[in-house]
Amino acid sequence: MAGPLSHIRVLDLSRIMAGPWSGQILADLGADVIKVERKGAGDDTRQWGPPFLKDEHGQDTSESGYYLSVNRGKRSIELDLADPDDQSVIRALAARSDILLENFKVGGLARYGLGYDDLKAVNPRLIYCSITGFGLSGPKSPQVAYDFMIQAMGGLMSFTGERDDAPGGGPQKVGVPIVDIMTGMYSTVAVLAALAQRGETGRGEHIDIAMLDVSVAMLANQAMNYLVSGKEPIRRGNKHPNIQPQDVFRVRDGHIVLAVGNDEQFRRFAEAIGRPELADDPRYATNVERVNHLDTLHPLICEVLESRDLDHWLKVLGEKAVPCGPINTVPMVFEDEQVRHREMLRELRHPLAGKTPQVVSPMRFANAPLSFDVAPPLLGQHTQEILRELGLAGEPGRAGGEG
């Protein structure tokens, strides 16, 4: 495979989203990612439907949309971790791998002789990344976690959603499993940093990534707003807490997102909407004052924007280089001319459906182009292929899908 990690092998013992998201990133970058799945059952997300991918006759396959979103580019092997023979396969794979991803309960793999210390003895250069809900230490470390509950526990939902006194107000989760995704991103950064360090020291690493830690880190400006002011962040709907005007505004035939980021942009915005005097008004001339006087500025902007259609405002604001945009539906996203130009949506060959859509990696490399050729694997699709590579194919008790 192409890509800057084409010399790297990843043993992916994770399931659901956070670990598999990291594994998919590494696969997109060219790594050989071997996905270990429970024999006869596979990754939990295979059953997380509907919807399911349809075959060429329009019938549901066993491949859920959720599973297909996070396992591109991998090879699947079915193993039973309680089986000593299959444990030996894991050790053999670990001996030949650079990176291992796992998201078992704390101590879960150690029960099978597959913990970090066990596999470090097999391969001292192995980078072993443990992804858990709460980390490998601390009072909550034994507990199981899912994205939704961590969005709540980590503070994200306390300031996400419409304000409590408005229609629909109350705590709201993000519409994708954002903590899982960001945990996968942090895991990827961590294993690549450890890979770079290994190039200098020759030693592997044990990485401890906790979803709750990631959620706390993601509080970003909201956390610092609280820490420097002592004021608890609150739900504001779409209003930005630090920069104005940034909000969703109603126009005559729908809505527009306005994302004015500095005073010069506000001046251009004021000119574009035919109210240039707003930029010279001391209440609105600077961002600090706009935030402080949003109660009077916001109604003024609403009145003007509601007078014309979306296309008009996109045109005149675009001509003034004022950051703004429509609120696209998901189908509209994939029809966007820029998204189409960037080829973010591709189709890969699939053994059951003929082809499957894939939203591919946003990373682009001039000298090591990425290749998107391998669809998310069927359960155990590469079991025999991988066992042959290990010299174990054909042994008693070895069974599985054909590569």
In order of 129, 233, 259, 316, the CA distances from 219 in angstroms are 23, 10, 20, 35
pLDDT at residue 402 in the model = 47
pLDDT at residue 2 in the model = 78
Q: Is 365 left (phi over 0), alpha (psi -120 to 50) or beta?
A: beta
What one-letter code names the amino acid at 186? Y
Q: Which two tokens stand for residue 343?
A: 């080829």
251: helix, coil or strand? strand
What one-letter code names the amino acid at 244? Q
Write the DSSP assignment of 302-336 as a string of letters: HHHHTTS-HHHHHHHHHHTT--EE----HHHHHH-
H helical segments located in 202-286: 211-217, 220-229, 263-272
Q: Tell me which residue of 371, 367, 372 sits closest to 2, measured CA to CA.
A: 371
pLDDT at residue 400 in the model = 47
Query: DSSP character for 157?
Result: G
Which residue among the candidates 180, 208, 309, 336 is catalytic per the annotation?
A: 180
pLDDT at residue 398 in the model = 54
The span from the CA of 6 to the CA of 320, in Å, is 45
Q: Check whether the bond before 51 is cis (ω within 30° of 0).
A: yes
Is 394 buried (19+), middle (13-18) or exposed (0-12) by CB count in 10 A? exposed
CB 159, CB 223: distance < 8 Å: no
Q: Show pLDDT as tens, one digit a residue, over the chain (403 residues).
A: 579 999 999 999 999 999 999 999 999 999 999 999 999 999 999 999 999 999 999 999 999 999 999 999 999 999 999 999 999 999 999 999 999 999 999 999 999 999 999 999 999 999 999 999 999 999 999 999 999 999 999 999 999 999 988 888 999 999 999 999 999 999 999 999 999 999 999 999 999 999 999 999 999 999 999 999 999 999 999 999 999 999 999 999 999 999 999 999 999 999 999 999 999 999 999 999 999 999 999 999 999 999 999 999 999 999 999 999 999 999 999 999 999 999 999 999 999 999 999 999 999 999 999 999 999 999 999 999 999 999 997 554 554 444 4
The span from the CA of 11 to the CA of 35, in Å, is 6
Contacting residues for 197 by C-beta, under 8 A, at least 6 apart:
203, 205
Domains and CATH numbers, the chain: 9-217+340-389 (3.40.50.10540), 246-327 (3.30.1540.10)
Active site residue 86: no
Would the pTM of this model clear 0.75, i.e. be above it?
yes
